[in-house]
Amino acid sequence: MKFFIAVLVLLSCNIVFSQNTIQKGNTIPMVGYWYKSAHKNVTYTKTETKTVKGKPVVETSVMNALWEIKDSTDKHYTIHYTYKNFIFSNPKDSVSIAYAELFKGVTIKYRTNELGVFDTILNLDEIIAISNKGLNNVFKKLNWPDNEVTSVIAQKMKSLFNNPTLLRTSISEEMVLIHYFYGLEYKLNQAYTYDYYLENTFGGEPYPALAVFKMTALNAAADRCKLTVNITPNDKEFKRILYETMVSVSATMQIPKPQKSDFTTAAMQHKCEAEYSIAEGWPIKIIFTKISTINGSKSTSVTTIALTD
């Protein structure tokens, strides 16, 4: 009986300490304490505003997914992210709609470290195979005429859509955002500045940057905290890498090479705001804003990720 009681005490201690706690000075570590088989419903909304001929053009896409903890160990979490459906505000974007249809029901399997920091996609080869096979079906579904022009366009699209680095960057975006703030300790209203790298969406050299993290709100009674990060790339390096990347892309796409002068005013700014459960580190809502300016054309992208039971 004494042994049984001792086991219960030990188990209760594990339960108490297997969670984030607010420490002295309103400080918390942000660690994911997730149990196997736990799951969340994800609503991913992305709104892009671009300036075209001086007028704003807005496009919105919505995706629903299921986020599941498939394995939980002292070294990592294995998570499955299954796409359920996609909704586009622009019905004319037939290629994107047809391509998205390929991933309905598809599961992205990925791993984090023991703290909840995003690590790697585990089934990338499977996703590439789906993309390869599906693109041909996309072209058939669109009923494109079989001629030299459409053949060249199709080949250019395949070279981009099936680029492993580009594909990995594209499909992991929402997973990276969900895990943005893990693995760090935060004190209320204190800024933490780190050297950072922004991934190049075209698979080229990453952009060196500075990231400033901060906990802006803490509510122990509600089990909630709010975290922010502002990321600014090194201006000189950003322009150099962007130009070199676009030169490479233009060669791949067989389009005119850009001029270096096109990138003299190029700029980019990332900001992420998130609300989390303190105790178990569950993400509640993430808002990611990206502002890009190239050759006088401004593009603003706002991504909202909401996770619910």
Per-residue pLDDT tens digits of the chain, which is 309 residues long: 433 333 333 333 333 447 898 998 999 999 999 999 999 999 999 999 987 677 788 889 999 999 999 999 999 999 999 999 999 886 556 677 777 778 899 999 999 999 999 999 999 999 888 887 777 777 776 666 677 766 776 777 777 666 777 778 778 888 999 999 999 999 999 999 999 999 887 778 999 999 999 999 999 999 999 999 999 999 999 999 999 999 988 887 778 899 998 899 999 999 999 999 999 999 999 999 999 988 878 899 999 999 999
Distance CA 183, CA 115 (A): 5
CA separation for the pair 167, 172 (Å, rounded):
8
Residue with tokens 């986020």: 67
Identify whether the C-beta of residue 5 lies closer than 8 Å to the C-beta of residue 12. no
pLDDT for the residue numbered 295:
80
Distance (Å, whole) CA 106 – CA 85: 10
Q: What is the pLDDT of residue 92?
A: 58
Three-state secondary structure call for residue 308: strand
CA–CA separation, 55 and 224 (whole Å): 40
Percent of the chain as helix, strand, coil, to the nearest 5: 30, 40, 30
Q: How far is CA 212 from the centre of its chain?
A: 18
Q: Any idea which residue has 């390869």 for tokens?
A: 132
With b for 16 or more beta-carbon neighbours within 10 A and e for fewer, the 43-76 pattern comes to: ebbbebeeeeeeeeeebebebebebbbbebeeeb
Spatial distance between the Cα atoms of 12 and 114, rounded to a whole number of angstroms: 21
Cβ count near 234 (within 10 Å): 15
Distances (CA, A) of 267 to 53, 114, 291: 20, 35, 8
Q: Which of 302, 290, 269 is nearest to 58 (CA)?
A: 302
Max CA pair span of the chain: 82
Helices 164-171, 148-161: crossing angle, 10 deg rounding: 70
What DSSP designation does 100 have? H
Q: Which long-range contacts (CB under 8 A, 24 or more apart) does 89-98 make?
A: 89/58, 89/59, 89/60, 89/61, 90/59, 93/59, 94/142, 95/138, 95/142, 95/157, 96/61, 98/138, 98/141, 98/142
Write out the E strands in 199-260.
Answer: 207-219, 224-233
DSSP state of 62: E
- pLDDT at site 10: 35
